[in-house]
Structure 1
Amino acid sequence: MDLHPLPADEAAVRRFSEELWLPFHRALEAVVESHALVDAPDEEIVDAEVEFRLGRLADDHYRLWVAVDGASESSDLAAGNGELAGFVATGVDETPSVFDRPTRLVVGDIYVREAYRGTGLARELMARAAERARDVGCAEMTLDVDVDNERALAFYEKFGFEPLRHQLVVDTDRL
């Protein structure tokens, strides 16, 4: 299993979106009611995600690594070589100098396909995120997790993540 940075290449991003991103979000919407995708054909959703992801990959603070089983180079992603097994996406949350807290690395998403769960791949993806945090001088990592996603909560707690704040949501028509 090799981890490769997702290149800002449309074919590679499309493959990532179809084989990992969309299945991840379909599985998540089945567990977390508030995570439903729009009612549109998968092709339209993938097209929108490809456009969005290409823009994110242009940001120096953003990185996404893809776990590939049976491919040795990032260029293999666009070529369709190897099986995509999982991914982790990170971004840097820079702290303004007026606050007394360190800059944090944000784990935006982490996903391992079912066939690769229990293999240690999720730990490897988290280790890659931690390596990125150290490389860019982040003393802490943070992430958001839906309160209904008990499996993910248990996973993150094993790593020592602790609640920092509560995010509250209200429909503006109620106010």
Structure 2
Amino acid sequence: MNVVRLVSEEAAVRRYLEELWLPYNREFEMLLDDFALAEDVDIVAEELAFRVDRLESAGRRTWVAVDGAPGDVDLATTDGELVGFVAATLDEAPSVFDRPDRLLVTDIYVRESYRGTDIARELVERARTWAREVGCDELTLDVDVGNDRAIAFYEKLGFETRQYSMTSNVDG
């Protein structure tokens, strides 16, 4: 299993979107209204333009787990199967706050047939490595309150609940 960084090459990003990002969001779409995808747009084309630009940012990274591809992997052309990904964003603390810089894991996904393996652990470790490289003292993430399997997994990796995110309709 290789874990490689997703670069802002259009063909690689398109493959990532089609084989991992879209299935990830389709799964969540079935579970949560907040993840409903638009029906009147070309989702991959819209996300491709958005994602390629974001990958150029120094404070964002995405890594992809590839099964069946040895060595340095070109995500656009490899015969290996794309089986999971982790995306992270640097959250630097403004100088007026007494808290460490954090690395926020914004998305993590492993194909169902690969769940229960060490792939998710490898992906989180890749984010931890980058956090150390950029001087972050904390790794943080959000998880859906009903996702008991993910919560248990993150707790085994040392994550602790520090706050709750709450939502309300603006009309009360």
- TM-score after normalising by structure 1: 0.91
Structure 2 match to 1:152: 150
Deviating beyond 3 angstroms after TM superposition, the runs of 4 or more aligned structure 1 residues are none
Residue 135 (structure 2) aligned to one of 131, 134, 137: 137
Structure 1 match to 2:92: 94
In the TM superposition, residue 101 of structure 1 has moved relative to its aligned partner by 0.7
Unaligned 5+ runs, structure 1: none
Segment drifting more, 114-123 vs 145-154? 145-154
- Identical amino acids, percent of aligned pairs: 54
- Counting only pairs closer than 5 Å after superposition, residues 13-162 of structure 1 correspond to structure 2 as 13-40=13-40, 44-71=42-69, 72-75=71-74, 77-162=75-160
**Contact 1:102-1:140 within 8 A present in 2 as well:** yes
Unaligned 5+ runs, structure 2: none
Distance across 1 between alignment mates of 2:149 and 2:117: 16
Q: For each residue in 1:95-143, what CA deviation from the matched residue of structure 2 results, as whole angstroms up to 9, or x when unmatched?
A: 0111111000000111111121122111111111111111110010111
The SS at the match of 1:59 is: coil
**Contact 1:90-1:107 within 8 A present in 2 as well:** yes
The SS at the match of 1:14 is: helix
Return the letter of the residue paired with 2:137.
A
Return the letter of the residue paired with 2:92.
E
In the TM superposition, residue 149 of structure 1 has moved relative to its aligned partner by 2.3
Distance across 1 between alignment mates of 2:78 and 2:2: 15
**Contact 1:88-1:126 within 8 A present in 2 as well:** yes
In the TM superposition, residue 148 of structure 1 has moved relative to its aligned partner by 2.5
Structure 1 match to 2:4: 4
Segment drifting more, 156-165 vs 123-132? 156-165
In the TM superposition, residue 80 of structure 1 has moved relative to its aligned partner by 4.3
- TM-score after normalising by structure 2: 0.92
Distance across 1 between alignment mates of 2:137 and 2:86: 19
Distance across 2 between alignment mates of 1:55 and 1:147: 31
